[in-house]
Amino acid sequence: MVFKGNTGTGKTTIIETLARQMGIPLYKMNYSKMHDSGIIHSVSRHVEEIFEKLKLMSKISKKPVMLFFDEAEKFFPITAREKHEIEEVNTYKELMNTASENGIILVGATNHKDMVNQEIIGNSRRMGKVIHVGNPDDDSRQNLFEKIRDTKPILTAALTGAAITELVTLTKGLSIGDITDTLLKKLYPQAIHKKQKITESMVIEAFKKVAV
């Protein structure tokens, strides 16, 4: 299956949670990291090695393993022009055709479904099912704020019940990434660095700026 949605909607989190709830290992392949590491032109061979490793892992453990293709549109481009791209897509097709019988569950995530090769996501033996992931609704945003409050003591005093109620309204239309980045990558590090207490008003003001 392929999860599609905008950046920050929680596609990766959903996949990680799914693997954890199923009690199976998750192996993640990230195209950008492979590119940066310099192995991108030998990716076909690398993927074949990964498949063999996961097949053996599944056979030994007697349970499935999950293989996650992040940035699926880059792994499986709709228009493969370069020789290595064509070889890669053909390799993926062959490997995916036998993935299920070898205990490998295939999942992907993409921000651009229309850029993914339809022979990959349009085939039930490969990644036939597409699941849309949108921005969180009111209940999901409230649960997210409560989870952050309960796991980050420095934010506990600021995320009161009243504050969370206001934040749920204020963050309508924001993604999970927008919310967590504002709290955990902006406010939280600043407070740690300045050794200051995060207040309710600081949190509200921070999200007013994001919501504009």
Helices (H), 62-82: 72-75
Please list, in sequence order, all residues whose beta carbon lies within 8 angstroms of the beta carbon of residue 60, skipping any fewer than 6 positions away.
none
Where is average pLDDT lowest: 31-45, 88-102, 173-187, 190-204? 31-45
pLDDT for the residue numbered 61: 93
This prediction's pTM: 0.75
Residue with tokens 């909607």: 9
Task: Tell me the Cα Rg of the chain.
Answer: 21
pLDDT for the residue numbered 193: 81
Per-residue pLDDT band for 74 (boundaries 50, 70, 90) equals confident
Alpha-carbon distances of 79 from 42, 85, 86, 93, 205, rounded to whole Å: 19, 9, 9, 15, 45
Is 19:25 a contact under the CB 8 Å cutoff? yes
Residue 51 has pLDDT above 60, yes or no: yes
Per-residue pLDDT band for 212 (boundaries 50, 70, 90) equals low
